[in-house]
Chain A
C-alpha cells in the first residue's frame, strides 16, 4: 500500500533536488567557479608538463590519520 507513495515521494524528491541543485549551481557555484577558473588550472588542462606524475602527498600512516575521511 505504501510502496507507490514511497516511490512517488522518491521521484518527487529527486525532481526537487535537481531543481535546488540547479539553483545552487548558478547562485553559489557560479561566483566561485568564475574566479577559480581565472586563477587556477587544477585539472592541468592548460599546462602540458613533461610529466604529469607529481609527488604523492597524502598522509595516512597512523590510526588517527586513518580515522579521517579526508
Chain B
C-alpha cells in the first residue's frame, strides 16, 4: 500500500511516500526549486517520490494533507474578531493569501494530481507531528509531546501512542505557544523569524540567564509546563509585521535589534537575553516531559514539532527529566508533517502493522557514478576518479589532515534540516582555526555559530558526555547538544562551542557505511574519530541536491576540494554553471506568514 503525505502553503513544502508503513522517499520542495523554505505546492518533491519507487499517482492508495485547512481558517477569523480593530492589516494580508490559495487546498491537490476525491484525506496538524515521531520510533508504546509555533489552533499536545494507535489527550492553543515565544525573542535579538532561531540558540552560550525574571513578568508556566502569555506584550496575533509590543521592550529594558541591520556582534545584553529565553524554554520542556511521562506512565518519549529542533534543550531531557529514552523525527518541523500525515493514515486509520524504526534520514534523491561523470564531462570539468573505495577514503582523510575543506556529496540526500553525511561540508575538527575558516570563507555566516561533529557511534561515549542507558536516537539526526568530555575539548576545538558543548551526530556503519568508513580512515591517521560536518550550502541557500548544484556552491565558496561520489574535483576546476538555478534567501518569514 502506498500513501503520499503532503505539507505546503505554510512552511517548507514537502512530500513523503510511505509504502506498507515504511517511509521510502521524502524531500522538501526547496531542494528541487532552490528557494529556501519554499512553502509552495511540492510538485517536484512529489515527482521525485513517485519516480524513486517507479510508480505513478494511480498506484497511490491515499494522499494525505498534513492539516485541516478550515480549522486554521476559523482560528484566523476568531483571532481577527477578538483583536478588532488592531487586526485590520493581518486580516487583510492573511485573507488575501487564503482567498488566493490556502482555502483551495483540496481542489488544488485534486486538480494537480488528478485523483478521485475519496483518496484525499486530511490529518490534524499536531497529529501529523505526533505520528511522524511515534510511528517512526522504535517504541511499541510511548508518551508523545508535540510543540511548535502554531498548527490549526493547537500549539502543543500531549498524548499516548501504542501499537498502531495514537491518542492525543491534551492540547494548548494559540496564541499561547512556546514556538512563537521563542520566535518573539529571535526577532527581539535581531534575527529573522522562522530562520534565525538557530542563531539565537548558538548565541545563548555567550550569555548568562540574567533576564529570566523579566521574561517571567510576561508569561506564566504551569506545573505541567503549560504556557500562558500576557498578550499585552506580544503582537503576533494581531500584527502583520511585529511579534512583540513596545511594552515588551520596556520590560526587557532595551529596544529590539533591527534584523535589517544584520548586527552580528555579540552584544552581551542580547547574549544574556538569548540565554535567558533558552533557559525558560528548557524549563518549560522539562516540565512538559515530566508531566507527559506521569500522564501516560511511559518513560519512552516521542518529541515532535519545530521546538523539538531545539537540540540544546533536547540534550538535557534524559538527564534532567523522568524520560529514559527519547525519539525525535529527523524532520521534526512542518516538513516532517508530510511523513506524519501519511504514517497516521497508514497505521492509525488503516491499521497497517508498524515496521522497523526510521533509524536514518537518507530518503532523498541520489546520483549514480554514470550521472556524475556525464555531468563532469558535459561541462569539461577536470576530475580524478577512484575505482577503489579504500584509496578514495585514504585520499579524503589525507586532504582533511592537510587542512583542506571538502564538499561531500554521496548517496541519498537527508530528510530534514540537518546534513548528516550525504550533502555535507567536512573538515578537520582538531584544527583550531577551522571554525573561523568555514564560517567566514565558506558558509559566509555569523562568526559565533558553532559547527557540528560527526562521530563514529562506537566512539561517541569516549568523546562526549552522554546519558547512561540512553540509546541516543536523536543523536543519529544531530538533535542532541551535549558536553564534549573535558579531556577532549582541546583535541576537537573546531566543533566545541564556547560552553564546551557539541551538537553531535553519531555515525552508524549500517546506515551510512561510506561516511563511517571515511571517518574511520581519518581516525587511523589522527586518532580522532570525529570530523566537522556542516550542511553543503551557502548562507541562505537550500542544501544542494544535484552534482551541478554541489559544483556551483563549491565554486562560489573557498572550499578546497569536492567529492562527488568517488570523483574528486580540486579548486583549479572551479567555474559557474549558469544554467543551474541559484538563489539566496536571507530574510525570514513575515509575522503574518508565521501564524497563518
Say whether A and B bind each other: yes
Inside 8 A of B78's CB, which chain A residues have their CB?
A: 36, 42-43
Pick the most buried of B85, B231, B345: most chain A CB atoms within 10 A of its CB.
B85
Binary interface encoding of chain B residues 125-165 relative to chain A, with 1 for a CB under 8 A from any of its CBs, else 0: 00100000000000000000000000000001111000000
Q: Which residue of A lies closest to B91 (CB)?
A: A25
Question: Is A30's CB under 8 angstroms from B171's CB?
Answer: no
Contact B84 A53 (CB under 8 A): no
Q: What 1/0 mask marks residues of chain B from 409 to 453 whose CB sits below 8 Å from any chain A CB?
A: 000000000000000000000000000000000000000000000
| Cα-based distance from A40 to B82 in the complex (angstroms) | 8
> Which residues of A sit under 8 angstroms from B530, Cβ to Cβ?
none
Minimal beta-carbon separation of B20 from chain A (angstroms):
18
Does any Cβ of A come within 8 Å of B173's Cβ?
yes
**In whole angstroms, how far apart are the Cα atoms of A60 and B74 in the complex?**
17
Could you say which residues of chain B place their CB within 8 Å of the CB of A56? 157, 159, 168-171
Evaluate contact between B226 and A70: CB separation under 8 angstroms. no
Give Cα distance in the complex from A67 to B237, angstroms.
29
> How large, as a class, is the contact surface on chain B?
35 or more
A14 contact set on B, CB distance < 8 A: 96
Determine the chain B residues whose CB is within 8 A of the CB of A30 once the complex forms: 84-85
| A40-70 contacts to B (CB < 8 Å) | 40-45, 48-56, 58, 60-63, 66-70
Whether A44 pairs with B70 at a CB distance below 8 angstroms is: no
Looking at B69, B117, B123, B170, the one whose CB has the most chain A CB atoms below 10 A away is B170
Chain A CB within 8 A of B524 CB: no
**Cross-chain contact B91 with A43 (CB below 8 angstroms):** no
Of B84, B96, B349, which is within 8 A of A33 by CB?
A: B84
Contact call A29/B84, Cβ cutoff below 8 A: yes
- State the CA gap A40–B123 with chains docked (Å): 28
Q: Nearest residue in B to A14 (C-beta to C-beta)?
A: B96
Q: Which residue of B lies closest to A53 (CB)?
A: B170
Q: Given A63-B349, A69-B70, A52–B91 Cβ distance below 8 Å?
A: no
The CA of A55 and the CA of B168, in the complex, are separated in Å by 9
Q: How far is the CB of B447 from chain A (nearest CB, A)?
A: 39
- Answer whether A60 and B91 are a contact pair too, CB < 8 Å, given A43-B82, A52-B176, A69-B106: no
Determine which of A22, A32, A52, A62 lies in contact with B88 in the assembled complex, contact meaning CB atoms within 8 Å.
A22
> Which of B92, B95, B170, B228 is in CB contact (< 8 Å) with A44?
B228
Considering only residues 337-382 of chain B, those with a C-beta below 8 Å from chain A are 345, 348-349
Confirm or deny: B222 has a beta carbon within 8 angstroms of a beta carbon on chain A.
yes
Chain A positions within 8 Å of B68 at CB level: 58, 60, 68-70
A24→B172 CA distance, assembly (Å): 31
Give the residues in chain A near B85, CB-CB below 8 Å: 30, 33
Contact residues in B for A33 (Cβ distance below 8 Å): 80-82, 84-85
Q: Which of B223-248 contact A (CB under 8 A)?
A: 223-224, 226-228, 231, 237
A52 in contact with B222 (CB, 8 Å): yes
Task: From the candidates B91, B118, B224, name the one contacting A21 in the complex (CB within 8 A).
Answer: B91
Contact A61 B349 (CB under 8 A): yes
From known contacts A60-B123, A70-B68, infer whether A43 and B174 are also in contact, taking CB-CB under 8 Å: yes
Name the contact of A34 in the complex, choosing from B84, B117, B223, B228 (C-beta under 8 A): B84
Give chain B nearest CB distance to A39 CB in angstroms: 11
- A18 on interface, CB distance cutoff 8 Å: yes
Given contacts A52-B227, A56-B171, A70-B71, contact A21 B92 (CB under 8 A): yes
Closest-by-CB residue of A relative to B120 is: A67
Interface check B296, CB cutoff 8 A: no
> Chain B residues near A68 (CB, 8 Å)?
68, 122
Residues of A close to B169: CB separation below 8 A? 55-56
Q: B88 to chain A: which residues have CB within 8 Å?
A: 22, 25
**Of B173, B228, B348, which one neighbours A48 at CB under 8 angstroms?**
B228
B121 contacts partner chain A, Cβ-Cβ < 8 Å? yes
In the bound complex, CA of A8 to CA of B349 (Å): 47
Contact yes or no, A55 B81, CB < 8 A:
no
Query: Are A18's CB and B92's CB within 8 A?
Result: yes
In the complex where A18-B92, A29-B84, A37-B82 touch, is A52 in contact with B173 (Cβ < 8 A)?
A: yes
- What distance in Å separates the Cβ of A6 from its nearest Cβ neighbour in chain B? 14
A17 and B99 in contact, given A42-B82, A61-B349 (Cβ under 8 angstroms): yes
Q: Tell whether B105 is near chain A: CB-to-CB under 8 Å.
A: yes
Contacting A45 at CB < 8 Å: which of B117, B231, B348?
B231
- Extra contacts besides A41-B82, A52-B227 (11): CB < 8 Å: A14-B96, A29-B80, A29-B84, A37-B82, A43-B237, A52-B226, A56-B168, A60-B127, A67-B118, A67-B120, A69-B71
Q: Which residues of A contact B (CB under 8 A)?
A: 14, 17-18, 21-22, 24-25, 29-30, 32-34, 36-37, 40-45, 48-56, 58, 60-63, 66-70
| A-B pairs with beta carbons under 8 Å apart, 25 shown | A17-B96, A21-B96, A29-B84, A30-B84, A36-B82, A37-B82, A40-B82, A43-B78, A43-B83, A45-B82, A51-B223, A51-B226, A52-B176, A53-B158, A53-B171, A53-B222, A54-B171, A56-B171, A58-B124, A58-B168, A63-B349, A66-B123, A69-B122, A70-B71, A70-B74
Going nearest first, the 5 A-B pairs with the smallest beta carbon separation are A33-B84, A70-B70, A66-B121, A53-B170, A33-B81
